[in-house]
A and B are shown apart, each in its own frame.
Chain A
Amino acid sequence: MSDSSAGFQLVQQSDHSALLTLSGDWLQGSRAGSFAALSQQLHQATPESLVVDGAGLGQWDSTLAAFLLRCHNHCRQEGIPFTTRNLPAGTDKLLRLATAVEPHRQTAEPRGSWLAALNPLTVIARSTDLIRESLAFTGELSIALARLVVGKSNTRFEDFRHFCYQAGPEALGIISLTSVLVGMILAYLGAVQLQQFGAEVYVANLVTIGILREMGVLMTAVVMAGRTGAAYAAQLGTMQTNEEIDAITTMGISPMEFLVLPRFLALLVAMPLLTLYADLLGIVGGGIVAGGMGITPLQYISQTEQALAIHHLAVGLIKAVVFALLIAVAGCRAGINSGRSSAAVGQAATEAVVTAIVYLIVADAGINIIFQQIRF
């Protein structure tokens, strides 16, 4: 039975109320009622109350209920009474269920749009916040470290050992691969230039100094930021979600001493050792390329010996210690301050890696400038 007059009609009554009569079949696709049209009419009429009459209704489904809900919400917004009569029994009940709980009103700050994310002012404000937080975090870490030194800390040695294993031996595979390749890349780069002067043999000096002072430690740090820094952020973020950090705090233990310190110390131990290992493999990688270009191993080794000075090694190791601190701070801070959802944990891991790499590069530049000035 297709009723051609499916729709609604708004009639103004004598007592300033409006009567909305619904008729026909209100089914999906029947386009019986568009609320926009009604809302326009209501705005023009400005009635003091709205009565809905459903006596003329035929078949109906959720389309009708959705329409009624919008009418109800409109009336609630305008503060005018809303009554229904002769509605099919089902719709009345459904409407009552749907309106039993007031809609939740968003009071939280509006989520930033992507345009706001590009605004240089917000970017600067966010980065200064981040730097301030990281500095505060480093301060707390130092206090925890001081308490460890005087023996009043709750740091567990087992945790430290466990994290040392995670940050050290387990990382050897990937570090081996990257450092051999970086050594080879450096050797190629240098060889092409040095060949023009017939000075190929100095490739060994270039590789040694480049690896020891710069590339060995930087590549190790980048790998560790992606591997260990992100893992720290994810671990601590998950602990935040699980209320584990709450449990630690209420047990009277400082999360700094219990969670952050063992991770930081493990990195502090692992980073210089990994750097030494990466230096060695980088020089070997350079040797492979040099050999391919006709330099004998003996020549390469003796040139390397010449270039190998203790202060080059020291520069790399000093950087390793600084980078260990930066990776641990970036990873642990992101984890501890993480929100309580799986999405937030993912965000924390991303933030840990991104901030760590930015810190690494900035710190590397800074350290190089300082050493340049003091001619170290």
Chain B
Amino acid sequence: MTTPAPEAHISIRDLTMAYGSFVIQRDLCFDINRGDIFVIMGGSGCGKSTLLRHMLGLLAPAAGDILYSGQSFTLADEQAQHAMRRRWGITYQSGGMFSAMTLAENVALPLQLYTPCSRGEIADIVAYKLALVGLAGYQQYYPAEISGGMLKRAALARAIALDPEILFFDEPSAGLDPISSRLLDDLILELKESTGATVVLVTHELPSIFAIATNAVYLDAASRTMIAYGSPTELRDHSDQAVVRQFLTRGSNPGEPTEPAARSGNE
């Protein structure tokens, strides 16, 4: 990172998340800096998707606040929330592609809504975005007609349609083969480099965490709060929490700092 003083783009302040009376996580407090590739880690069911849904404003916090560039999302009125959301691109864990529309229509929808582009221009942008994720020529396919991995990439194409400032991904590489998964990592890195976007992602893929993430938070299911924050390599080698070291080394040899086998040197 060449930026001298990192600037907080998203701040989570004392956030408590609950479904009814069932608390998922409490007292979350951390910053996501502008230009970060930020990973939310944790065991299955610890509340990663739930945290993401809070950040997206789909669920209201039980307590605490979420700030975007210093402005509270929770307290903002509908108009302001709308304006903030327009600068985001999102992919969901189970796709979230509109099944009644072709891939081209899916990607074109945000462009039709929020840009003054003509039909022809939109078609060109759609073709470009689909090509970017390796789906050139699939414009007229319906989501049900392509494979799960292709669906993930199509969702990514829709998420980047408006060149967003913040990209949220819920498990973008789950279910992808190692090569596609690596290509997706490269794409995320490339997008970040070229547009300066902040990327927030939920993932379990250790190779991809070490390859692209600059910062991370670990949510613990047992204590229901965050127990580690920092760069993943740093956490793997020096975290004071055994669980975190164990998570980042796939459970092997929690005591000893080890060299990762799957570090893909693409810097």
Contact = CB atoms under 8 A, between A and B. Distances in A.
B238 interface: no
Contacts of B56: 246, 250
A244 B97 contact: yes
B141 interface: no
B95 A252 contact: no
Given A250-B85, A251-B110, A252-B82, A102 B222 contact: yes
Interface string B92-108: 11111111100000000
B116 interface: no
B86 interface: yes
A143 interface: no
A66 B82 CA distance: 55
B118 interface: no
Interface in A48-79: none
Given A107-B21, A108-B22, A246-B56, A252 B113 contact: yes
B58 interface: yes
B63 interface: no
A111 to B, nearest CB: 14
B122 to A, nearest CB: 14
Interface size of B as a range: 20 to 34
Contacts of A253: 113
Interface in A205-261: 238-239, 241-244, 246-253
B18 to A, nearest CB: 10
A208 to B, nearest CB: 41
A154 interface: yes
Contacts of A247: 90, 92, 96-98
Contacts of A109: 20
B98 A250 contact: no
B109 interface: yes
A108 B20 contact: yes
Given A102-B222, A107-B22, A246-B56, A251 B92 contact: no
A183 B97 CA distance: 46
Nearest to B49: A243
A238 B109 CA distance: 20
Contacts of A238: 99
Contacts of B86: 252
B57 interface: yes
Interface string A171-212: 000000000000000000000000000000000000000000
B88 interface: yes
Interface string A260-302: 0000000000000000000000000000000000000000000
A239 B88 contact: no
Nearest to A241: B94
Contacts of B114: 252
Pick from B92, B96, B113, B222 the residue with the most CB of A within 10 Å.
Answer: B96
Given A154-B113, A249-B58, A253-B113, A243 B96 contact: yes
Interface string A80-106: 000000000000000000000010000
Contact of A242 (B58, B96, B110, B222): B96
Nearest to B109: A251
Contacts of B222: 102
Contacts of B110: 251
Interface in B52-89: 53, 56-58, 82, 85-86, 88
B48 to A, nearest CB: 14
A252 B164 CA distance: 14
Contacts of B99: 238-239, 242, 244
29 contacts: A107-B22, A108-B22, A238-B99, A239-B99, A241-B94, A242-B94, A242-B95, A242-B96, A242-B99, A243-B93, A243-B94, A243-B95, A244-B96, A244-B97, A244-B98, A244-B99, A246-B56, A246-B92, A247-B90, A247-B96, A248-B98, A249-B58, A250-B56, A250-B85, A250-B88, A251-B110, A252-B82, A252-B86, A252-B113
Given A246-B56, A250-B58, A251-B113, 14 more contacts: A107-B21, A108-B22, A241-B94, A242-B95, A243-B92, A243-B94, A244-B97, A247-B92, A247-B98, A249-B58, A250-B85, A250-B88, A251-B110, A253-B113
Leading 6 A-B pairs by shortest Cβ distance: A247-B96, A243-B92, A243-B96, A107-B22, A252-B82, A252-B85
